[in-house]
């Protein structure tokens, strides 16, 4: 059975891809085991896609831009998968799901695959499944993966940590915006695109210069890449060819200097470490002796009767005994 699934997935069958993703997202222990076996078997077939992250405030035009860019790409013969990271998505099953209407052409496109955010769990859980789904999509032959995130909590940082290229969409009111930008967001950007330039091209250009100046002050992520700032219109499909050309230019430079491979290697190891921390945390909290003392010690620490370090020592001692 797993072999049949693997073969069907490698043949690019959408139903098989969907089944594999369901397996990866399942919390059942036997499903998780099967999912890990499948992922391990598929590893040699992963890694070939351009992995792109895209973020921006609600309403900035992420879905509209992905639709236009995605259709451009499938018309050029690429296979595009769109995944979402939305840790708040339990409310609606994922904003991207409602977005399927906004991505009507792309969702009807046989060379595109759109998957809403897994609806369960913490940011860590959601992004773990998104990473694994990304690998499945690559094995199924998708050669462009776009991960969209609304930027709740730390989700931009986590998405930036799973892609080759991180794109930040901005609105054309930079003057007011610059104050409100989440700390650290500009540092993550490989490119900034001021969207909705069709509304007021001059305002968009002013915003472009403001962001370019702001980026100029920051030390670039990599000495070979100064993040460009462009204007575009997702609705009008304007400027998106240039956006894609910059993504390809980035890829060519970062392939040649080895930075893309190094970034991926670092991401993989970082991911492994965070999985280990997750597992250890779970094992710790599930440990019977730890459980029997944890509540009591937490209360004592909260009340200032026991130093935090002493409580941690005791609990770790119980765990490791
Ligand atoms: N004029 C103009 N409107 C746009 C453009 N891009 C998006 N819009 C409109 O802005 C609204 C929000 O667009 P979405 O693509 O749904 O934005 P989003 O960033 O995906 O929003 P969330 O998923 O809610 O975070 C829609 O009404 C779009 O039609 C653009 O380039 N120009
Ligand atoms: Mg959207």
What confidence category does residue 98 fall into, taking pLDDT thresholds of 50, 70 and 90? low
Q: Which listed ligand is nearest to 65 at the C-alpha?
A: 1
Q: Does 149 contact ligand 1 (Cβ within 6 A)?
A: no
Cβ–Cβ under 8 Å, residues 70 and 112: yes
Dihedral angle, C-alpha 243, 248, 253, 257, nearest 10 °? 130
Q: Supply 102's token pair.
A: 């906004």
pLDDT digits (tens, 9 = 90+) for 110-133: 999 998 877 666 777 778 889 999
What pLDDT sits at residue 177? 61
Cβ–Cβ under 8 Å, residues 52 and 81: no
Q: Which listed ligand is nearest to 150 at the C-alpha?
A: 1
Which is the closest atom of ligand 1 to the Cα of 95? 23
Mean model confidence pLDDT for the chain: 90
What confidence category does residue 91 fall into, taking pLDDT thresholds of 50, 70 and 90? very low
What pLDDT sits at residue 151? 73
**H or E stretch at 127:** helix 123-139
Q: Does 63 contact ligand 1 (Cβ within 6 A)?
A: yes
Q: Determine how many CB atoms are found less than 10 A away from the CB of residue 36.
A: 13
What confidence category does residue 58 fall into, taking pLDDT thresholds of 50, 70 and 90? confident
As a whole number, mean pLDDT of residues 63-74 equals: 96
Cα of 37 vs centre of ligand 1, distance in Å, is: 40
Q: Supply 96's token pair.
A: 């991207």
Q: Does 198 contact ligand 1 (Cβ within 6 A)?
A: yes
Q: Does 290 contact ligand 1 (Cβ within 6 A)?
A: no
What confidence category does residue 93 fall into, taking pLDDT thresholds of 50, 70 and 90? very low
225 forms beta bridges with 222
Which is the closest atom of ligand 1 to the Cα of 234? 31
Which residues, 6 or more positions from 186, have their beta carbon under 8 angstroms from its beta carbon? 168, 192, 211, 214, 215, 218
């Amino acid at each position: 059975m797993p072999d049949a699934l693997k073969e069907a997935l490698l043949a690019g069958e959408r139903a098989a891809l969907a089944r594999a993703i369901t397996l990866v997202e399942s919390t059942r222990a036997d499903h998780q085991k099967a999912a890990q076996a499948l992922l391990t078997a598929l590893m040699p077939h992963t890694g070939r896609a351009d992995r792109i992250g895209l973020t921006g405030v609600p309403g900035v035009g992420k879905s509209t831009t992905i639709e236009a860019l995605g259709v451009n790409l499938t018309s050029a013969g690429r296979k595009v998968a769109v995944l979402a990271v939305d840790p708040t998505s339990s409310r609606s099953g994922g904003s991207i799901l409602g977005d399927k209407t906004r991505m009507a052409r792309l969702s009807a496109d046989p060379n595109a695959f759109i998957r809403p955010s897994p609806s369960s769990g913490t940011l860590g859980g959601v992004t773990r499944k998104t990473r694994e789904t990304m690998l499945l999509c690559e094995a199924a032959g998708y050669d462009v993966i776009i991960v969209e995130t609304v930027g709740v909590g730390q989700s931009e940082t986590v998405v930036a940590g799973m892609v080759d290229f991180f794109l930040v969409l901005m609105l054309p009111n930079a003057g007011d915006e610059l104050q409100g930008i989440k700390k650290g967001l500009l540092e993550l950007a490989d490119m900034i695109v001021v969207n909705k330039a069709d509304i007021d091209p001059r305002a968009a250009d002013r915003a472009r210069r403001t962001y370019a100046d702001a980026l100029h002050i920051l030390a670039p992520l990599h000495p070979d890449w100064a993040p460009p700032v462009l204007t575009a219109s997702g609705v009008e499909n304007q400027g998106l060819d240039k956006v894609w050309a910059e993504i390809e230019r980035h890829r060519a430079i970062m392939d040649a200097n080895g930075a893309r491979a190094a970034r991926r290697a670092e991401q993989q190891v970082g991911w492994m470490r965070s999985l280990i921390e997750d597992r250890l945390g779970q094992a710790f909290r599930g440990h019977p002796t730890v459980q029997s003392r944890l509540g009591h010690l937490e209360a004592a620490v909260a009340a200032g009767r026991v130093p935090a370090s002493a409580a941690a020592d005791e609990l770790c001692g119980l765990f490791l005994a």
